[in-house]
Amino acid sequence: MVEVCLLGCGGMMPLPHRRLAALLIRYKGRMILIDCGEGTQLSVRQAGWGFKAIDAVLFTHCHADHIAGLPGFLLTLGNAGRTEPLKLVGPKGLADVVRGLCVIAPNLPFDVQALELSEETSIQIGGVIVENLPMTHTVPCFAYSLYVPRSGRFDAERARLLGIPVSLWHRLQHGETITHAGKTYRPESVLGPQRRGIKITYCTDARPSRKLMLFCGGSDLLVCEGLYGENEKLSDAIEKKHMIFSEAAQVAKESGSRELWLTHYSPSLKVPEEYIHEAASVFPNSFCGYDLKTAAFRFSE
Amino acid sequence: MVEVCLLGCGGMMPLPHRRLAALLIRYKGRMILIDCGEGTQLSVRQAGWGFKAIDAVLFTHCHADHIAGLPGFLLTLGNAGRTEPLKLVGPKGLADVVRGLCVIAPNLPFDVQALELSEETSIQIGGVIVENLPMTHTVPCFAYSLYVPRSGRFDAERARLLGIPVSLWHRLQHGETITHAGKTYRPESVLGPQRRGIKITYCTDARPSRKLMLFCGGSDLLVCEGLYGENEKLSDAIEKKHMIFSEAAQVAKESGSRELWLTHYSPSLKVPEEYIHEAASVFPNSFCGYDLKTAAFRFSE
């Protein structure tokens, strides 16, 4: 099961009733945070999942509304007793920004590793495969997909036929190669073909593109920006290198995603729900994101 | 009239129900902000006095809970249409910190001037005289007093005797020296002795001292930290270089201040009002500060 909490749904600046856009993903008790604008530490606190199990923060880009909360977040993480290193992951330029912001977060009780990713690479954080795609924005910017793979079905009959002791089955099921009593057992000999995992994709501060649709392909959940609701604001969105609701819905539809949450609303968009039909008429399973919207995604049977 | 809004009353880290300590002062339509922790821009927005008329931000010191909100605040100020320069005022080290944080606030539509004050100096911002006193904290730290002077009473009889045209009285009342029809008129010739002005003093992240009591002397309002409420936490407060409620009250009493607002509470202090008696038993006119507590101070007759 992968749990997702949309920590905030605001773009550009925090508002009293709307936190800045950020996403928290939890799998097997460990967490990955995406973006950390001013006030994100408060959203993390309100999500109630704690701070200590966050292994990495992925940054879409280094605009203030996505990273200004970093020093406060790091200090609070230190206060929560963290001592293990923390990965900060993002596009080119991240290390300089982290260095600048950390002028007010010296002497942390843990190491901070700023990792600038090449474009379209894949890294593993805990059991999650993180991939990125460069976006068309005013500064280097990534969309991220987080994929939790699922191994093939365990073939107990075959395991018995191969004479594998039952005490080793669990480890083979988890993909381990085992040498026992002079024999080597490989997981592929007792596991069926890989099954569909769980894919969460996060995309803000971007224009839609064919590449983005391919990148989002088959997401269980696509969390995508919709700076404006009205179709009439398309030219504003293009100028600012953002998307409107119906464009996000088009990405969800074309990518074969299962569910869409809109986020990163302009402060001028007071009631996003008033425009949800602009998305739903393109992709029915569209929902307006809101602060602390939470859902759990299970492997499909 | 001087208006004061306590933007937040929290110390160390922002909490969902408690913003970080900061103070906004308004006089004749212009404003001075003291401190700008993460989320202070939201408090400014909620205070409802707008952003554009803020002429300066005074920083008590450069700990994150007092300055991390600066880049977001500057960007929002730019969005509000500011083009006049903004003064950032604080102790030694401020300029480096501002430089670091502004890595995510480039290309502002106004100039930012970081001014590191010498100890115990006096500067004027609009009609307000700002003085500072170095505090005993873990980094260079200032208490600030903001004083609005009040000129002496205008002596109309004397002005008539001196033959000053009535059309010039208003300017003389405001302290202007005027040359008119070959004659020079000085305000001191028609104004009585200076009258009591309005003094607001702000002090956080400090231990009490005799010097601090002198500095706060005769404040109309003393806004002073009380990290902990209970007298039993005195040794914790000493170790962390902070104050408890009764110490703040002692400062208010010894300085002859008229009113005390406690602020900068520890996150561990859930209900400050439970301990207000610790302050009020020392200085009766003690009040617990809370987010957006607002008051107006008028010249006394």
Nearest alpha-carbon partner for A87 in A70, A68, A69:
A70
Instruction: For residues B185 and B177, give the distance between their C-alpha atoms in angstroms, rounded to a whole number.
Output: 6
pLDDT of residue A57: 98
Mean pLDDT across the stretch A62-91?
Answer: 96
- Give CA separation, B100 vs A20, A180, B93, in Å: 22, 57, 11
Mean pLDDT score, B91-96: 96
Q: Kindly report the number of other CB atoms within 10 A of residue B48's CB atom.
A: 9
- From CA B57, how far away is CA B41, in angstroms rounded? 12
| Beta-sheet strand order (sheet of B54-58) | B112-116, B86-90, B54-58, B30-34, B22-27, B2-8, B293-297
Smallest Cβ–Cβ distance between A104 and the set B16, B67, B102 belongs to: B67
Measure the CA–CA gap between B125 and B25, rounded to whole angstroms: 12
Neighbouring-strand partners of residue B70: none
Structure tokens at A141: 């910017």
Active-site annotation holder among B35, B55, B65, B155: B65
DSSP secondary structure letters along B245-272 = HHHHHHHHHHTT-S-EEEE-B-TT---G
Name the average pLDDT for chain B. 95
Instruction: State the burial class of residue A290 (Cβ atoms within 10 Å of its Cβ: 0-12, 13-18, 19+).
Output: middle
User: What's residue A120's pLDDT?
Assistant: 85
* Per annotation, catalytic residue among A35, A55, A65, A111: A65
Average pLDDT, integer, range B122-137: 93
Of A38, A41, A96, the CB nearest to B72: A38
Give the per-residue pLDDT at A138. 80
Element of type H or E holding A278: helix A276-280
Write down the pLDDT at residue A23: 98
3-state secondary structure of A50: coil
Domain locations in chain A as residue ranges: 2-151+194-297, 153-193
* pLDDT above 90: residue A119: no
Residue B122 has pLDDT above 90, yes or no: yes
d(CA B65, CA A107): 15
Tell how strand B86-90 and strand B260-263 pair up: unpaired
Q: Which of B65, B75, B97, B103 to mutate to test the interface with A (most CBs of A within 10 A)?
A: B103
The CA R_g of chain A, rounded to the nearest whole Å, is 21
- Shortest CA gap B41–chain A (Å): 8
The DSSP element (H or E) to which A260 belongs, if any, is strand A260-263
Model pLDDT, residue B209: 96
pLDDT by residue (tens digit) across B64-80? Answer: 999 999 999 999 999 99
Strand partners, A114: A88
A→B interface, C-beta within 8 Å: 12-16, 37-39, 41-42, 45-46, 62-65, 67-69, 71-72, 75-76, 79, 96-97, 99-105
| Reported ipTM | 0.90
Residue A104 and residue B46: Cβ atoms within 8 Å?
no
Contacts of A99 in chain B (CB under 8 A): 100
Distance CA B179, CA B186 (A): 9
Question: How many A/B residue pairs have CB atoms within 8 Å?
Answer: 93
Report the percent of chain A where pLDDT is more than 90.
93
Q: What integer pLDDT is reported at residue B21 of this predicted model? A: 95
Min distance B101 CA to chain A CA atoms (Å)? 5
A221-250 per-residue burial string, b: 16 or more CB within 10 A, e: under 16: bbbbbbbbbeeebeeebeebbbbbbbbbbb
Which candidate in A104, A107, A268 is best for mutational testing of the B interface (most B CBs within 10 A)? Answer: A104
pTM: 0.92
Q: For residue B137, is pLDDT > 80? A: no
Query: CB distance A72–B67 less than 8 Å?
Result: no
* CB-CB under 8 Å, B100 with A100: yes
| CA-based nearest residue to B149, from B70, B220, B227 | B220
Q: Provide the 8-state DSSP code for B139.
A: S
**Do the beta carbons of residue A70 and residue A39 sit within 8 Å?**
no
pLDDT tens digit string along A155-180?
999 999 999 999 999 999 888 899 99
* C-alpha–C-alpha distance, residues B142 and B135, integer Å: 5
Does B42 sit within 8 Å of A39, measured CB to CB?
A: yes
Q: Which residues of A touch B96 (CB under 8 A)?
A: 103
Q: Which residues in chain A are closer than 8 Å to B103, comparing Cβ atoms?
A: 96-97, 100-101
Q: Which residues on neighbouring strands pair with residue A87, listed in sequence order?
A: A56, A113
Distance CA(B39)–CA(A1), nearest Å, equals: 34
Residues 6+ apart with CB under 8 A from A7: A19, A21, A22, A23, A24, A33, A40, A43, A44, A47, A291, A292
CA B301 – CA B285 distance, rounded (Å):
20
CA angle B69, B288, B231 (to 5 degrees): 105
Q: What is the C-alpha separation between A84 and A108, in angstroms, rounded? A: 11
pLDDT at A112: 96
Nearest residue on chain B to A16, judged by CA atoms? B42
* CA–CA dist A175, A154 (Å, integer): 10
Candidate from B45, B64, B75 with C-beta closest to A104: B64
Q: What is the pLDDT of residue A175?
A: 84
Q: Do B45 and A76 touch (CB under 8 A)?
A: no
Q: Which residues pair with A150 in a beta bridge?
A: A195
Residues A37, A8: contact at Cβ < 8 Å?
yes
Residue A137, pLDDT above cutoff 90: no
pLDDT, tens digit (0-9, with 9 covering 90-100), for A172-216: 988 889 999 899 999 989 999 889 999 999 999 999 999 999 999
Residues of A in contact with B99 (CB under 8 A): 100
Mutate to test the interface with B, among A7, A12, A97, A103 (most CBs of B within 10 A): A103
Would the pLDDT of B174 be above 90? no
A16 contacts in B (CB within 8 Å)?
42, 45-46
Interface of chain B toward chain A, CB-CB under 8 angstroms: 12-16, 37-39, 41-42, 45-46, 62-65, 67-69, 71-72, 75-76, 79, 96-97, 99-105
Cβ neighbours of A62 in B, within 8 Å: 104
**Closest CA in chain B for residue A97:** B103
- Judged against a pLDDT cut of 80, whether residue A224 lies above it is answered with yes
State residue B190's pLDDT score.
93
For all residues of chain A together, what is the average pLDDT? Answer: 95
Structure tokens at B121: 């100096």
Residues 6+ apart with CB under 8 A from B76: A13, B41, B51
Q: Which helix (H) or strand (E) holds B2?
A: strand B2-8
B96 carries an active-site annotation: no
CA distances from A18 to A10, A264, B69 (A): 6, 10, 17
Q: Could you tell me what percent of chain A has a pLDDT over 70?
A: 100
Give the DSSP H or E segment for B227: none
- B/e letters for B262-282, b = 16+ CB within 10 Å, e = fewer, are bbbbbeebeebeebbebbbeb
What lies within 8 Å, CB to CB, of A265 at 6+ separation is A9, A10, A11, A18, A226, A227, A272
Q: What is the DSSP string of B150-219?
A: EPPPB-HHHHHHTT--HHHHHHHHTT--EEETTEEE-GGGTB-SPEEEEEEEEE-S----HHHHHHTTT-
pLDDT at A301 over 80: no
- Residue of B13, B96, B104 with shortest CB distance to A72: B13
CA distance A86 to chain B (A): 19
- Distances in Å between the Cα of B139 and the Cα atoms of A70, B69, B135, B156 are 21, 19, 9, 52
User: A42 CA to chain B: closest CA distance, Å?
Assistant: 6
Question: Which residue in chain A has the smallest CA separation from B139?
Answer: A104
Multiple choice CATH, A2-151+194-297, 3.60.15.10, 3.40.50.300, 1.10.760.10, 2.120.10.90: 3.60.15.10
**How many angstroms separate the CA atoms of B161 and A236, rounded?**
68
